[in-house]
Amino acid sequence: MAIFLNNESKVIVQGMTGSEGRKHTQRMLTSGTNIVGGVTPG
């Protein structure tokens, strides 16, 4: 399976409130990723 993203893609992050998720989400925001929300696993 392939996932194709472009500069208009919207991203939802799973587990972004945890320490690792927060770190990676910040990196994505810094690089310009369009993050629209987050969800909790489970």
pLDDT tens digits, 1-42: 898 988 899 999 988 888 888 899 999 999 999 999 998 877
pTM of the model: 0.72
Say how many C-beta atoms besides its own lie within 10 A of residue 31's C-beta.
7
pLDDT value of residue 16: 84
Contact assessment for residue 34 and residue 10, using Cβ atoms and an 8 Å cutoff? yes
pLDDT value of residue 21: 87
